[in-house]
Structures are given as structure tokens and as C-alpha cells.
């Protein structure tokens, strides 16, 4: 799964992904920024990034 997100400079950005129980999360990567948190609760994964870039290109591997 991959995507591109437009960011507000200086704000943390959270990606919410519906992730069924049978999915095996492998890796999250992005073009810039620091991963602040990566949590799964139930079938929802939330990944929060702090980036100074205007556009974030991200990818999740299963």
C-alpha cells in the first residue's frame, strides 16, 4: 500500500489504515521525516510522522 500526502509544515501527520487481523505488517517507509509512533489497536493501525517536507510519499509493506 502506498500514498502521497500534502502536509502542513511543522505539524505531525497521522495515517490511519484499516488492517485486518490476517495482515502481517512488515515495514513502513517514507521519503522524509521521523516516525513518532506506529500502533495497532483492533483492526486500525495509526502511524504518526513529523516531517518538514510539504509532500510525504509513504509506503507500507505487508
**Residue keyed to cell 511543522:** 10
Confidence of residue 8 (pLDDT cuts 50, 70, 90): confident
Nine cell digits for residue 43: 483492526
pTM of the model: 0.88
d(CA 21, CA 39): 14
Per-residue model confidence as pLDDT tens digits over 11-47: 899 999 999 999 999 999 999 889 999 999 999 999 9
- Residue whose cell numbers read 505539524: 11
Measured CA to CA, the distance from residue 12 to residue 21 in angstroms comes to 27
Q: pLDDT band at residue 51, thresholds of 50, 70 and 90? A: confident
Q: What is the pLDDT of residue 61?
A: 97
Q: Which whole number is the average pLDDT over 5-9?
A: 87
**β pairing state of 44-50 and 2-6:** unpaired
Listed by start position, the domains of the chain span 1-16+44-62
Amino acid at each position: 500500500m502506498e500514498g502521497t500526502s500534502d502536509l502542513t509544515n511543522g505539524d505531525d501527520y497521522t495515517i490511519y489504515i484499516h488492517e485486518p487481523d490476517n495482515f502481517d505488517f512488515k515495514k513502513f517507509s517514507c521519503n522524509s521525516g521521523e516516525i513518532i509512533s506506529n500502533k495497532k489497536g483492533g483492526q486500525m493501525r495509526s502511524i504518526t510522522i513529523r516531517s518538514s517536507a510539504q509532500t510525504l510519499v509513504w509506503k507500507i509493506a505487508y
